[in-house]
Amino acid sequence: MMIALPWEANSALAANKKLTGKIGTFPIPSHTAGQTAPVFLGGSDLAIPAGSANKDLAYEWVKLMLSEKYQTRLAKENGAIPASANLGQTVLGNDPLLGSMVKSSSNGEITPNDPTWAAVEAGSNPLKDMMTKILSGKERAAPRRLRPTRGPRRRGPGVVPGSCRTC
């Protein structure tokens, strides 16, 4: 089992053709029957700095990247879930690996509008690191509490106090 980003399943297949037909994906189930658990949508945002000397050109580039043509291309060629929910269903909804991720995205949350978010992206990810060790057999799954290494800080949505090193 691996916990991965949408394009990583196809990357695994490209690296090892013997996996074809042997792996699958599923949405993380919710505690509410018939629903998927909320997922995190996206990563870094497309943005135009306020001091940009070429705001008009930058805006045209953002429009181009968010256009149906390029969102379709990014989905088909890279496995990226399109920004448009309807387009995601149309382009990837029947894909055996990415279809479940499209389903999960309907219950997702976007990157918080928070000036400190870049520090979160740059920080460590102790939960992913822990799960990777457990799922790869390098560490035993035992109950434990992750403790912050620093004092209290602002937390993004969904972060439980004391559950990560960067909180």
Residue 117, CA distances (Å) to 4, 33, 65, 110, 148 in order = 21, 32, 22, 12, 18
**Is residue 1 one of the residues assigned to a domain?**
no
* 24 and 106 within one domain: yes
pTM: 0.58
Of 70, 94, 111, the position where a domain reaches its end is 111
For position 163, what pLDDT does the model report? 36
Non-local (6+) Cβ contacts of 53 within 8 A are none
Q: Domain limits at 51?
A: 6-111
> 3-7, 93-97, 139-143: which has the minimum mean pLDDT?
139-143
**Is residue 160 one of the residues assigned to a domain?**
yes
Of 33, 27, 20, the C-alpha closest to 6 is 27
In the predicted model, is pLDDT for residue 118 greater than 50? yes
In the predicted model, is pLDDT for residue 113 greater than 60? yes
* 68 and 133 within one domain: no
